[in-house]
Amino acid sequence: MTSAFFPPFWRGYRLMFPLWLGMVPFAVAYALTARSAGLSLWETQFMSLTTFAGASQFAAAGMLGAGASALGIVFTTFLLNARHLLYGLSLARQLPLSRRQRPVAAQFLTDEAYGMVIVNGPKDPAGLSFPFLLGAELSLYSIWNAATLLGSVAGAALPNPQALGVGVIFPLAFLGLLVPLLVDRISLLVALVSGLGAWGLSRVLPGGLVILLAGVGGALLGAAFLTRSQQEDAPSEGRPMKEMP
C-alpha cells in the first residue's frame, strides 16, 4: 500500500462517525436477541464478522429464537440482502475497482457505507476512491463488531437501547443523504414514488426485498422520464445531463 492510501482511508473512516451513534445500540440489540435465541458468544460474533448486514442478522436471530427452519432463515437472508447487488452496480459505475480490490470492498458493503460514499466520495480531495470506500466500510465493520461483542458480554447490564429512541437516527441519516439529491422534478417524483411504494410494500414483504423492489421501480421510473427528455433534446445536443452532486 502506498502512503497515499491512508489519508483518504481515514477521511472515509471518520465520515461514518455520526452513524456510530445509531450503530452501537443496533448491534447491542442484535447481540441480545441472538444470545437470548441460544446462540453462543462466538456464534453471535461470527454472524457479525461474516454476513455483516444488520437487518438480516436481526431477522435471523429472531427466527432462530422462534425455531424457524434453517432453509427459511437462509432464504430470508438472501431476500433481505439482494439489494446489495444494486449498491455494487451503482458504486462500480463511478468507482472502477481492480480485481484485487473488489473481493475486499464486497465483504464490507452496507446500506450506510454505500449511501455515505456515493454522496460524499466525489467531494473528497482524492475523489471517489477505493481507500475512501474501504475506510467508510471498515468504520462500520469495526464498530458493528465491537458493539456486538459488547452486547454479547455485557448485555444484561446495559440499558435497553430501543428506549433511547435511537431508532430514528437511521432514517434521519438517509434523509440527510436524500435531501441534497432532490434537485429537480424527476428526482422528487422518484423519491415520492419509491418512498410511498416501499411503505405500501413493507406491509406485505420483508424489508430488504422492499428496498430492492422500490429502489428498482423508482429508478426505472426516473430513467424512463430522463431518457425521454434527453431524446427530445438530442437533435440540438440538448442541455448537459444531470450529474449526481
Among 6, 92, 160, 238, binds other proteins (CB under 8 A): 92
C-beta separation of 61 from 37 below 8 A: yes
- Please work out the total of residues on this chain that contact other proteins, with binding judged by CB under 8 A: 95
Residue for cell digits 462466538? 42
Q: Side chain identity at 56, as an amino acid letter?
A: S
Phi/psi of residue 73, nearest 5 degrees: -65, -45
Site for other proteins in 158-177 (CB under 8 A): 165, 167-177
- Asked if 103 touches other proteins (CB under 8 A), the answer is yes
What is the closest distance, in whole angstroms, from the C-beta atom of residue 21 to other proteins in the complex?
8
Q: 1 or 203: whose CB is closer to other proteins?
A: 203
- In whole angstroms, give the CA distance from residue 181 to residue 119: 9
Site for other proteins in 125-154 (CB under 8 A): none
Site for other proteins in 181-210 (CB under 8 A): 181-182, 186-187, 190-199, 202-203, 207, 210
Site for other proteins in 46-65 (CB under 8 A): 46-47, 50-53, 56, 60, 64
| Residues whose CB falls within 8 Å of the CB of residue 69, separated by 6 or more in sequence, listed in order | none
Cell of 20: 456510530
What percent of the residues of the chain are helix, what percent strand, and what percent coil, each to the nearest 5? Answer: 80, 0, 20
Among 16, 83, 132, 139, binds other proteins (CB under 8 A): 83
Among 119, 126, 128, 158, binds other proteins (CB under 8 A): 119
